C-alpha cells in the first residue's frame, strides 16, 4: 500500500486540458492495477492531488439536468465562460478565478475501499479548514458538499463536490469558494438545488481577499491527517 500522495499545483489552467490530464493519470493507475492482477505483481500504484484554478467554466455531471444552465451559447460567450458535460457524479457547478479546485486521483485500495467514507473525508477536510477561520460549516442531508447555515433559511453552499470512481480509483473532486465572483452562480441552479444560496470564504469573513495558498496548506494538513497520508512534491 502506497499512502504517499503527489501534490501538483497546476496554477490557472483550462478546464478541458486539466480534465484530459486527470484522465491520463487515472488511466495509468487503472492500467497498472490491471497489470498487477493479470501478471500477479505487486507494483505500487501512485496517488495524486491536483490543485488548479480554472477560467470561467460551467460543468454538468452525468446525472445533471441541462435546464439548470440558464445561459445559451451566445450568453456564455459574452460572459467569457465555457461549458462541458463531464463524467463525474452530481449536477451543474461553476469553476472560476478565486476558487480552489482539488482533484484527488487516488487508488483507494491504498487507503480504504469505501466511496461514502471517501466523500465524507473530503467534506471533513473542508469543514476543519473553515473552522480554522472561525466558520461553522457542515453537511446538508442528501446533498453532497459543505454548507453554512444548515437547517436555517440562510443555508448557503461554500464547497461543491463531484467524483468519479472506477476500480477504486478516483477523479474529479472538490471546489472551495475562497475569493469567487458569486455573480457567476446566478447563471445556473447550483447543483440543481433551488432556493439555497452560494457563498465564498472572503464574503463570510468580510474581507476583500483571503490568502489562497494559506487555505491550500490547511486543506493539505487535514487531508494528511484524515487519510493518514504523506504529501510529496
pLDDT at 194: 56
- DSSP tag of 113: S
173 is in an annotated binding site: yes
pLDDT at 43 over 90: yes
pLDDT at 89: 72
- One of 191, 215, 220, 223 is an active-site residue; which one? 191
Is residue 159 among the annotated active site residues? no
Contact at 8 Å (CB) between 7 and 51?
A: yes
Residue from 231, 204, 50, 53 nearest 130 by CA: 204
pLDDT at 193: 53
194 is in an annotated binding site: no
Structural domain boundaries in the chain: 4-231
| Range among 74-88, 144-158, 208-222 rated most confident | 208-222
- The grid cell for 113 is 475501499
Q: DSSP H helical segments within 49-200, as ranges?
A: 73-78, 115-131
Of the candidate CATH numbers 3.30.2350.10, 3.30.70.380, 3.40.50.1100, 3.30.930.10, the domain formed by 4-231 belongs to 3.30.930.10
pLDDT at 60: 87
How does pLDDT run across 170-228, given as a tens digit for each residue? 999 999 999 999 999 888 876 555 556 899 999 999 999 999 999 999 999 999 999 99
89 is in an annotated binding site: yes
pLDDT at 195: 55
| Range among 96-105, 138-147, 153-162, 183-192 rated most confident | 96-105
Q: Across the chain, what does the average pLDDT equal?
A: 93
Percent of the chain as helix, strand, coil, to the nearest 5: 35, 30, 35
d(CA 111, CA 141): 26
92 is in an annotated binding site: yes
94 is in an annotated binding site: yes
- pLDDT band for position 10 (50/70/90)? very high
Mean pLDDT of 14-40: 97
Amino acid at each position: 500500500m502506497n499512502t504517499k500522495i503527489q501534490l501538483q499545483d497546476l496554477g490557472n489552467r483550462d478546464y478541458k486540458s486539466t480534465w484530459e490530464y486527470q484522465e491520463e493519470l487515472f488511466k495509468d493507475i487503472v492500467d497498472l492495477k490491471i497489470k498487477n492482477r493479470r501478471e500477479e505483481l505487486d507494483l505500487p500504484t501512485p496517488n495524486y492531488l491536483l490543485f488548479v484554478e480554472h477560467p470561467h467554466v460551467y460543468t454538468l455531471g452525468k446525472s445533471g439536468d441541462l435546464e439548470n444552465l440558464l445561459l445559451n451559447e451566445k450568453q456564455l460567450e459574452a460572459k467569457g465562460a465555457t461549458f462541458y458535460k463531464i463524467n463525474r457524479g452530481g449536477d451543474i457547478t461553476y469553476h472560476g478565478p478565486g476558487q480552489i479546485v482539488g482533484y484527488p486521483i487516488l487508488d483507494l485500495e491504498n487507503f480504504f475501499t469505501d466511496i461514502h467514507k471517501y466523500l465524507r473525508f473530503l467534506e471533513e477536510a473542508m469543514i476543519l479548514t473553515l473552522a480554522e477561520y472561525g466558520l461553522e460549516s457542515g453537511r446538508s442531508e442528501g446533498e453532497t458538499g459543505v454548507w453554512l447555515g444548515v437547517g436555517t433559511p440562510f443555508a448557503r453552499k461554500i464547497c461543491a463536490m463531484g467524483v468519479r470512481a472506477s476500480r477504486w480509483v478516483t477523479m474529479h473532486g472538490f471546489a472551495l469558494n475562497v475569493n469567487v465572483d458569486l455573480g457567476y452562480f446566478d447563471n445556473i441552479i447550483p447543483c440543481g438545488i433551488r432556493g439555497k444560496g452560494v457563498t465564498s470564504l472572503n464574503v463570510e469573513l468580510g474581507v476583500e481577499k483571503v490568502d489562497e495558498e494559506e487555505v491550500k496548506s490547511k486543506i493539505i494538513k487535514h487531508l494528511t491527517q484524515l487519510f493518514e497520508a504523506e504529501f510529496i512534491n
